[in-house]
Amino acid sequence: MFLKRKPRNRRHTRDYVLDVKLSASQRRNNRVRRLTLFLGTSLIFFLTLYGLWRGGDALIKHKIYENPYFAIERLEVETDTLRL
């Protein structure tokens, strides 16, 4: 595996062939495509975070704060009757 030879037929290797500049419209389309992809993924990411935040808040409210098993039914207060 470490002593692999180079292939004898070099026509099948991929080499750098030509550097061609893109036209202005192709460059603009490429920039718009990249910007749209970035903004779309950012929007999806922040909407997912917002949904998790609001969903977690609603879940905690429903399961803990409004749960009748955790409700205080009776509150007793005792004082030591010490007056100053």
Which residue is listed with tokens 């903004």?
39
Is there a domain that residue 8 lies in?
no
At 3-62, the pLDDT tens digits run 677 666 666 677 777 777 778 888 899 999 999 999 999 999 999 999 999 999 999 999
Q: Is there a domain that residue 55 lies in?
A: yes
SS3 content of the chain, % helix, strand, coil (to 5): 55, 0, 45
pTM to 2 decimal places: 0.56
Confirm whether 78 is domain-assigned: no
Q: Which range of residues forms the domain containing residue 50?
A: 46-72
The beta-strand segments (E) located in 1-84 are: none
Q: CA 65 to CA 67: how far, in whole Å?
A: 6
Number of domains present in the structure of the chain = 1
Contact yes or no for 51/59 (Cβ under 8 A): no
